[in-house]
Structure formats: C-alpha cells, structure tokens
Amino acid sequence: MASASPVISESKTQPETKNQKGAATRDQILNAASRLIHVQGYQSTSLDDVLRESGVGKGNFYYYFKSKEDLGYAIIDRIRRAFIERGLGPAFADADADPVGQLHAFFDRVLDSLRQRNCVGGCAMGNLASELSDVHEGFRQQLAGIFDVYRDHLAEAIRRGQRSGRLRSDADAARVAQFLVAGLEGAILLGKVTRDITVIERCVEELKEHLTLYRM
C-alpha cells in the first residue's frame, strides 16, 4: 500500500505539468506575435516571422492555432482581457472616488506608458482597428467590442459622478465618454506619427480641461 502513494502522486502531477508546459508554449507564441504585430502590423507579420521570433516549430504552432487568422483572434482577445484587467478595471474600481480624478489618473497612466516607450508602437487595439477594420469583418467586430467596453467604463464613471452630484446631470454620459475615447486615441496616433510626447501631453491637457465643463 505504501508504494502506491508515489504512483498516485505522479499520475496527478503529470497532466498539470503538461498543461503548464502547453500554456507556456501558447503564451510564447502569443508574446512573440504580439510584439511583432504591435510594431509591424498584422498583415506585414508572416507566420515565419512569428515562428522565428518565438522559437516554436510549425507543428507546435498548428497544435495551438489553426491558422494565422486564429492567432489574430487570440491576440485581440488577449488585448481585450489585458485592457480590462490591468487598465480599465483598476482605474475605475473605486465606486466612491471622484470620477473626474479617476479619468485624469487614467489619462496620465496612458501618457506615462507612451512616454516610457517614446511613443513607439502607439495603441495596440487602435493600430489593429486602423489596419484591419476595412479588410476583415470578424476582426473589426471584435475590435469594435473592445472600444465599446472602453467607452462604457468611462461612461459609467461619469454616471457615478452624476448620481453623486459631482457632475452635471444634463450631460449625456455615453457621448462624453465617446468623445474622450476618440480624443485620447487620436492623441496617441498623433504622438506615434510625430514621435513627440508633447503632442500627447497637450491633448491630454485639453481633455482634462474639457471635463471641467461637467463639474457642478
């Protein structure tokens, strides 16, 4: 009976180890593809580029992804989850905080990230939206969904401000949020093309100034 214990333990741990290794390989592919696509674009990044960058063989790639298109969907889903879990979620988690302060802090975090990268790369979802919306309907729909979530988080922060009496009740929260998203994304694009962080800094200042129109 005593000798059975190691056998049971091994049979339990082996599938977990395989799962962990499989998840690591899949992440390795996604990490490499994401880096390349962020700078080169989806269409200019070949499968061979991804294999070379990731160090993963073609057989392993096709075990996890049916095609480059399948990889594209996985990258978009990853961008969505990361943006919600590490960006929007924490930025607006405190329901009692001043929503304008939260929006300012969110803008500043975006600005800080771009400053650290010297404006290189721009916005991952914005880049893909610009590149793919006219050529791939499935990708367009997925990306539009991310921007809907983006707008909805900002709109809900504004509505909280309205309910608490901090912001004017006659403002259309969804329209204000859409304007803020468009303004920030446009600023990121301008910063990317000019490689000048001051362009984004000035746009962020204007967005913050615009928000004062809605304070009580």
Q: What is the pLDDT along the chain (216 residues), one digit of tens a residue?
A: 333 333 333 444 445 566 677 789 999 999 999 999 998 999 999 999 999 999 999 999 999 999 999 999 999 999 999 999 999 999 999 999 999 999 999 999 999 999 999 999 999 999 999 999 999 999 999 999 999 999 999 999 999 999 999 999 999 999 999 999 999 999 999 999 999 999 999 999 999 999 999 998
Cα–Cα dist 213/194, whole Å: 29
Residues 6+ apart with CB under 8 A from 115: 197
Closest alpha carbon to 27 in 73, 64, 76, 1: 64
Tens-place pLDDT, residues 89-101? 999 999 999 999 9
Asked if 101 contacts 158 with a C-beta cutoff of 8 angstroms, the reply is no
Tens-place pLDDT, residues 190-209? 999 999 999 999 999 999 99
Cα–Cα dist 180/86, whole Å: 19
Tens-place pLDDT, residues 52-81? 999 999 999 999 999 999 999 999 999 999
Closest alpha carbon to 136 in 39, 33, 67, 191: 67
- Secondary structure (DSSP) of 10-50: HHHHHHHHHHHHHHHHHHHHHHHHHHHHHHH-STT--HHHH
Closest alpha carbon to 47 in 31, 33, 34: 33
pLDDT of residue 20: 72
